[in-house]
Chain A
Amino acid sequence: SQTIHQWPATLVQPVGSPLSLECTVEGTSNPNLYWYRQAAGRGLQLLFYSVGIGQISSEVPQNLSASRPQDRQFILSSKKLLLSDSGFYLCAFGREGMGNTIYFGEGSWLTVV
């Protein structure tokens, strides 16, 4: 069965510090990978998605970037965090053969102070 792992679960970072959130998928190959952000009282906002190694599409201009160094690894990064980057970040994966369904990780809470 397919599983998705995301870490760290919680982190508190000072303004101006770097960020790295990691996500790995097991049990499937060549998945589509996604990073979403969920702000309090708002829906999930798609930040980045990837259909293959090194292929990244950005949905919204922002202070963040994403990379896919391996088939089942997706990384969300920032060089200098802003207060507005605080939120709940969710990694997700899907495959066309899985009925187009997208499955989510447990999420990472980021607080920028």
Chain B
Amino acid sequence: EDQVTQSPEALRLQEGESSSLNCSYTVSGLRGLFWYRQDPGKGPEFLFTLYSAGEEKEKERLKATLTKKESFLHITAPKPEDSATYLCAVQAGTASKLTFGTGTRLQVTL
């Protein structure tokens, strides 16, 4: 059974204080690892897909990396508007469905 574990559960940062969110996974035949951002009361918004170990992707202050066991979402010099829940999900085997972690709630304060 595919498993995804995210840590920490919650993270509070000051504006400009860089940090990383972790997503560890156990799957058989990884097809892709996905990062989403979710604002309260909204549907998840797609950020990145990573397909193989060593791959990296960037978008503004966010950078996602992937190893054979985990992925990191690095947030550089965050701003209050980066406050949200960040979800990690895996797609494995021949299935297209996603298995999600429980997310990391990020709060960035002034």
Contact = CB atoms under 8 A, between A and B. Distances in A.
- The finding on whether chains A and B are genuine partners in a shared complex, rather than unrelated, reads yes
Interface string B68-108: 00000000000000000001010100001111111100000
Contact of B34 (A49, A101, A105): A101
B49 A100 contact: yes
Q: Is the interface of B mostly helix, strand, loop or mixed?
A: strand
B63 interface: no
A103 B36 CA distance: 10
A88 B97 CA distance: 18
Given A99-B49, A100-B49, A101-B49, A49 B42 contact: no
Contacts of B44: 44, 90, 104
Interface residues of A, number: 26
A99 B40 CA distance: 27
* Residue in A44, A46, A100 with the greatest tally of chain B CB atoms within 10 Å: A44
Assign chain B's interface to a size class.
20 to 34
Q: Is the interface of A mostly helix, strand, loop or mixed?
A: strand
Interface string A29-52: 000101000000111101001010
Interface string A3-17: 000100000000000
Contacts of A99: 32, 49
A2 B86 CA distance: 23
A107 B43 contact: yes
Interface in A85-107: 88, 90, 92, 94, 96, 99-107
Interface of B: 4, 31-32, 34, 36, 41-46, 49, 87, 89, 91, 96-103
Closest 6 CB pairs of A and B: A104-B43, A43-B100, A43-B102, A44-B100, A107-B43, A104-B44
